[in-house]
Structure 1
C-alpha cells in the first residue's frame, strides 16, 4: 500500500521561528502516523491557469502532489487552487476565508443563536470614506468607547478602542479603503478572554488570557496565560461556532458578558498552538493530525 503524502504549508514570508516550529510540530505528529510529509512555504507554490486548467508552478522544482494538505496559513487562493486540483485541504479554503475576514465571520455566525457583541459592518469603498454620516449613526447605536476592528488582522493588531467621535473619524480616515467593523465594547471583559482549541466535536485545550495594561488580552500584546476549565456552555458555543465556519480545527476566542456568559470574539482557522502548549502542556497537533487522517480516510471510502 502506497504511503500517504501530505504537505504542511506555512507562510514563507514570516521568518519568525514560531511559524516554522508550528509546521514542524505537525510534521513530527504526522510521521508518528506513518504519513510521509513535506514542509512547503506558500510562496514556493504559484497557482497557475495553464491551457484553461488549474495547476501549480513550483518555484524551485516540481513536486509530487500530496494526498492531502495541512494548511497553516491564510493564503486562501492557494488553498482554493489545491482544492480545484482535487487535493483535500484542512482547514478548507472556505473556512480560511471566513475566519480571516472578521466581518464575514460574524455574518456567518449570525442567525444561529451564537452570542456575539453587537456588530456593525462598514460599507465597502474603493478609495476612502467620504460620507461619514453612517458613522455618526453607528456611534449613537454603540456608544463610546467602542471597538474598531479591521477585517483582516492577527495577534490583536488592527484592533482599536475608540473613545470619541473625533477619534473614530480620524481612525476611519487613516484606514482608508481597508474593510473594517465596529463593535460594542464589552467592558466586563476588558483585558480578559479565553481561547478554546476545538478539534472536531471536542475542546481539547483551553486557557484564559489576562492583560493588566491593554484592553486586548492577546499574549503578543503582553497578556498573561492561565490554565482554564471552560464551562459546558462555553464548550458548546466554541464547538458550534467552529462547525458553522466549517473548521475541522480552530482556536475560538470568547469574551465574558456582564453576567459572565460567553460571547464569541473571533475564530482562528490556523491558530498558533505554541502559547496554549506553554500554558497547559497540551500539544493540540496530537489531536488534529489523527482527526484529519480519520476524516480523509472516511472521504476516500465514500468516493
Structure 2
C-alpha cells in the first residue's frame, strides 16, 4: 500500500505502515507526511471512518469459504493461489483469472467454448459466475435465468484485447453443464431452447461507438462494471450521452469510497441526483481485492449505483 501523501513534494522515507488513528483507512510513511496530507484527508476522514465500520457486513457472504476468501486473504494469511489449490480449482477453467499467476496463462483469443469447465456443480453452479471476454460462454447462463427471451449484449471498451476481435459476434444456444452425473443440467430440455444469447465485442469508448450500436437496436439497459468513473475523465462524455438517452444505467465499483467519488462525478455531469442510490451489491465477488489504495473493504463489483 502506498503512502497517502506520496507525490506531495518530499520523498517517502519507508513503507506506509502509519495508519490514520481515526479512520484507519489511509496509511503514511511518516508523521511528517501524515501532517502534510491532513488538509486533504480532513475532508474524507469521517466518511472513511463510517465506511470502515461496515467492514464486517462487507466481509460476510453466504458461502462456506467466506472467512478464507475474505479475512484470510485480506490479512495476507493465505494467498489466492493457496485458496484455489485447496479446492483443486487453481488455474482451472473460469478460475484461471483469479490469481496473478493465472492471468498470463489465459488465452484472450480462445473460442467461447461451452464445455471447457469440467468441474463439479459445487464448484461451478449451473447458473455460475462470469469473466467477460475470457469466459464469454458463461453468458449462456442467461438462457436459464431469463428463459424464453433472446438477449443481445454489446461489450464496449478500449480493453478489447485485439483489434481483430472488434465486431466479433458470438451466439449461445445453451448453458454450461457441470460434470455431476445426475445434475438436472444434463437434461437437454433444461439447457437449450429456441432462445439465444448474442454477444458482440466493440473496441473503443462507448460514446465513440454509439453510432455502430444504434445500427441494430436501442439499448434497454447499460451496465458498467468496476467503472472507475472518478478515475477516468473519458467517462464524462459517455455519461452525458447516456443521460441524454434516458436509458437506465447501472455502475459498480470496488469500494464505497470509489462509488462515492463516482456519484459526485455523475451528479456533476448530469445535474441530477442518482436514480439508484449507492448500495451494497449482493452479487459482488467474494474474494477480497488485494493491493488496494485504501484499507477499506474492497471487492470486485462491491457497490452499485445508477442514473
TM-score range (shorter-chain normalised) is under 0.3
Which structure dedicates a bigger proportion of its chain to strand?
A: 1
TM-score w.r.t. structure 2 length? 0.26
TM-score w.r.t. structure 1 length? 0.26
Q: Which of 1 and 2 has greater Rg?
A: 2
